[in-house]
A = this chain, B = another copy of it.
Amino acid sequence: MDTLLVARAHGGTQHAVSHRSRATGTDMTFSVFVPPQANDGTPCPVVWYLSGLTCTHANVTEKGEYRRACAELGLIFVAPDTSPRGPGVPDDEAYDFGQGAGFYVDATEAPFSTHYRMYSYIVDELPDAVASAFPVDLARQSITGHSMGGHGALTIALRNPDRFRSVSAFAPIVAPSQVSWGEKALGGYLGKDRATWRRHDAVALIEDGARLPELLVDQGAADSFLKKELRPELLQAACAAAGIPLTLRMQQGYDHSYYFVSTFMEDHLRWHAERLLA
């Protein structure tokens, strides 16, 4: 594991590291904030944050404003990259497919199936990699994410219901099978058979019987992607039909940017902490 960053912040330490991934067959980068409660090695609960289109680990690390609350609450905050990267990794000119747009699936279509294995990376490999180097208590995990990363958080939590004590999302893509970002990505990575897409679509997973005990979602009401790509009303309907308590907060005036995410980050971290520290 190569150290890219070690910096004291808010009494804890912000790290960024690179490691060789078995899942993707590439080097992968992630950041880890270790709060002061873990400075002596005491294991702390972990919040996984999955990022959106075009992002690396760096966007939330620099703009997410999570460290103050994590330092107060004693939370480790991990932010992985959004895709495999590198000269040997297939890419696309568009911002919403290829590098920076892994969509948290294991691709089955060539040429993406070799490296684009972000579901396996996040679910099977990253927790052990983080635990090998940082004092995380894997018995206490929560997950959140933004936009494509909100999609990742919801679908990963729905498919691994015993792993996470709490789940939230910022402006998530809730039904990729029904919107153009998702149709392009799921079609490109998984192929034309839409039946295979349902395991990577939060609304479809809920329709097919997956459950969460509760869910917190913040969504900017002035988000330019709201009506075409995000469509929280589809999640609202699926949760209502399934009896999943959803707290969906439409935030007046807020857009899709990190100015929105950073504003509500503390609320989400407190919500997770209430459940992780209970």
Interface residues of chain A, those whose CB is within 8 Å of chain B, are 7-11, 14, 62-63, 65, 67-68, 220, 222, 251, 253-255, 257-260, 262-263, 266
Contact = CB atoms under 8 A, between A and B. Distances in A.
B63 A62 contact: yes
Contacts of A266: 68
Contact of A62 (B62, B67, B222, B263): B62
Contacts of A62: 62-63, 258
Contact of A254 (B8, B63, B251, B262): B8
A234 B80 CA distance: 43
A236 B9 CA distance: 25
A42 to B, nearest CB: 18
Contact of A8 (B7, B68, B222, B258): B222
Q: Across chains A and B, which 8 residue pairs bring their CB atoms closest together, nearest first?
A: A9-B259, A7-B259, A8-B253, A8-B254, A10-B263, A65-B65, A62-B63, A9-B263
A62 B220 CA distance: 19
Contacts of A251: 8
Contact of A14 (B7, B222, B259): B259
Contact of A9 (B9, B67, B222, B260): B260
Nearest to A6: B255
A9 B63 contact: no
A253 B258 CA distance: 28
Contact of A255 (B8, B220, B222, B263): B8
A8 to B, nearest CB: 4
Nearest to A8: B253
Contacts of A222: 8
Nearest to A64: B65
Nearest to A7: B259
A240 to B, nearest CB: 28
A259 B8 contact: yes
23 contacts: A7-B255, A7-B257, A7-B260, A8-B220, A8-B251, A8-B253, A8-B254, A8-B259, A8-B260, A9-B259, A9-B260, A9-B262, A9-B263, A10-B262, A10-B263, A11-B263, A14-B259, A62-B62, A62-B63, A65-B65, A67-B262, A67-B263, A68-B266
